[in-house]
Structure 1
Amino acid sequence: MPRVLTETDVADFRERLCAAAERLFAEQGPDAVTMRQLAAELGVSPMTPYRYFQDKDDILAAVRTSGFNRFAEALEKAREGAASVRGKGAAVGDAYVDFAFENPHTYKLMFDLNQPLDGNHPELIEAGRRAHDTMSAWVKDLVAAGEMAGDPEEIGTMFWAATHGVIVLEMAGKLPPGAARNLHDRIGTALGKGLRPGA
C-alpha cells in the first residue's frame, strides 16, 4: 500500500521533477523527452510522475509557469529597487540579462518554445502575462514622468526584441562572452535618446 503523501512531499517531488525536466527539455527538446526518462532521472518507477502530473505537457507547463514567474519577480524587484525613474530601465535591463544567463535552460523554454495554450493551464497564461507586463511597466514610469514619449507597450516590445536578440546570439556562440550585456547597454542608450520628448 503506497504511503500517504503530505503536501510537502508532493511539493518537493514536483520541484525535483520540474528541475530535471527543465534541463532535459532544454537540452533535447520536449518532444524527445519521455515520462520514463524523467522517472529514471529521479530513480523512481515509470508510473511515479503520473501521481504528480497528468502528462508531459502538464510538466512542461509547470516548468514554464515557474520560469515566467521567477523572471517577472526579478524584473519587478529591479524596478522597485531603482533609485530614480531613469534608473528603472537600466535596472530592469540588467535584471533581464542576469536572469537569462543565470538560467539559460529556463530562458530557452520560456521564449524559444511555442507550447499550445488552452484552458488546461491557466496558471501558465497568467505567468506569461505577468512577465510580459514587466517589460513595459518601467516604460510607463518614464512616459508618466515625461522622460520618454510614445506607446509604452510598443516601446517595451522594442527593448525586449533588442535584448532578446543579443542574448540569443551570445548563447548560440555568434557573439563573444559578455558581448550581449555590452550591446544591450549601447542599444538601450541609443533607443532611449530617440524616444525622448522632442527628439
Structure 2
Amino acid sequence: MNMRRERSSNQGTPALKRRPAPGARARTDEQKKDVRENLIAVGRHLFAVEDPSTVSLRKIAVKTGYSPGTIYKYFRDQHELFIAIREQDMSRVVDNLEKMAERVADPKERLRGVFVAAVRHWLKYPEEFRVLFSIRPEQSSKPDRQPFGKSAVVLRSYSLYRRLVDDLFATYPVPPCAPRLATDTLIAATHGIIAFTLHTHTLEWSNPIRMSEQVLDALLVTWSKSDT
C-alpha cells in the first residue's frame, strides 16, 4: 500500500539520476553534482506544471526523496533554485545556437536557421520554455537580487540575436530599420508563436515551425525590398 502511494506521488516527475541512498551524504563532487541536477530537474517540472508560488523547497525535496535540510545546502531559497534552472536551460540552448551560427556563412540563412532552431528546441522542451518565459514577473524577481533579464546568459543570448541582425543589415546599402527594433521583433514573433501553440490547447494550430518560417521569411523579404 505504501509503495502504491509513493509511486502515485511521484507520477509525472522526471527520472532522477543515481544518488546516494536515503540518509547518506553526497561526498564526492560527482555525487553532489547529481544531487543538484536532480533538484533542478524536479524543480523545473513542478514550476512548469504547478503554480510557482506553491512550489517550496520542501516540496521539491519530498519529490526527490532527499531530506528537507539537504536542498538548503544547494539553494538558499526558492528564488535561487528558480534562477539556477533558468540559467542552466538558457545556457544550453545558447551554446547550441552559437555553434550553429558559426557553421553558416550566409547572413540571411544564418539568421533564419538560428531562429528556426530556437523554435524547434523550445517546442521539444516545453517545460523549459514555460519556466523561462511564462512565469509572472513577481514570481521570478526579488528586490535584493539581480533580475534574470540582466544575467550574463540572457545578455549573451540577446547579443547573439543582435549579431545575426547586424551581420544581415551589413549586407544592405542602408539598414531597413533600427537593428534593435528588428531584433526585438524577431524574438517576440517567434517566441509568441511558441507560447500560443503551447498554452492554447483548445485551438487547432498550424505547424508552429512552419508558422515561424512564414514570419521569418516575410520579415526577410520586407527588409530586402526596402533597399531597392
Amino acid at match of 1:144: A
In 1, Cα distance between the equivalents of 2:191 and 2:147? 25
Pair 1:75 & 2:97 matched? yes
Aligned pair in 2 of structure 1 residues 117, 67: CA closer, same or farther (>3 Å)? farther
Identity of aligned residues (%): 26
Aligned to 2:120: 98
Q: 2:119, 2:194 within 8 Å by CA — same for their partners in 1?
A: yes
Shift in CA distance, 120/167, structure 1 to aligned 2, threshold 3 Å: same
TM-fit CA distance, 1:157: 0.7
Q: Does the C-alpha gap of structure 1 residues 71 and 145 become closer, same or farther in structure 2, counting only changes over 3 Å? A: same
Residue-by-residue CA offset, 1:31-73 (whole Å, 9 max, x unaligned): 1112221111111112110111111111001001112211212
Counterparts of 2:93 and 2:26, CA distance in 1: 34
Counterpart selection for 1:63 from 79, 85, 96: 85
Q: Residue 179 of structure 1: CA displacement? A: 2.1
Per-residue CA deviations over 1:7-52 (Å, capped at 9, x if unaligned) read 2222221111101100110100321112221111111112110111
Q: Is 1:116–2:144 an aligned residue pair?
A: no
Q: Which is further off, 76-85 or 89-98?
A: 76-85
How far apart, CA to CA, are the structure 2 residues paired with 1:176 and 1:77?
34
Q: Match for residue 3 of structure 2?
A: none
- Residue identity in the other structure for 1:186: Q
**Structure 1 partner of 2:76:** 54
Per-residue CA distance 1:69-96 (angstroms, 9 max, x = gap): 1121222122112242221112112211
Task: Quote the residue 1:156 is aligned against.
Answer: 183
**Alpha-carbon contact 1:18-1:59 (below 8 Å) kept:** yes
Q: For 2:146 and 2:26, how far apart are their aligned partners in 1?
A: 26
Q: Which runs of at least 4 in structure 1 moved beyond 3 Å after TM superposition?
A: 1-4, 117-124, 174-178
Could you say which residue in structure 1 is the equivalent of 2:207? 179
> Which amino acid is the alignment partner of residue 114 of structure 2?
V
Residue correspondences, number? 199
2:79 touches 2:141 (CA, 8 Å); kept in 1? no
**Residues 47, 4 of structure 1: alpha-carbon distance in 2 compared, 3 angstrom cutoff:** closer
The amino acid of 1:99's aligned partner reads H
What TM-score do the two structures reach when normalised by structure 2? 0.78
Letter of the structure 1 residue corresponding to residue 227 of structure 2:
G
CA pair 41-121 structure 1, distance change in 2 beyond 3 A:
farther
Higher helix share: 1
After TM superposition, the structure 1 = structure 2 runs for residues 21-60 of structure 1, keeping only pairs within 5 Å, are 21-60=43-82
Listed as ranges, the gaps of 5+ residues in structure 2 are 1-22
Matched, 1:198 2:227: yes
Alignment-mate amino acid for residue 159 of structure 2: D
**Tell me, which stretches of 5 or more residues in structure 1 are unaligned?**
none
Say what the alpha-carbon RMSD is for the aligned residues: 2.4
TM-score, length of structure 1 as denominator length: 0.88
Alpha-carbon contact 1:162-1:187 (below 8 Å) kept: yes
Contact 2:141–2:147 (CA under 8 A) maintained in structure 1: no
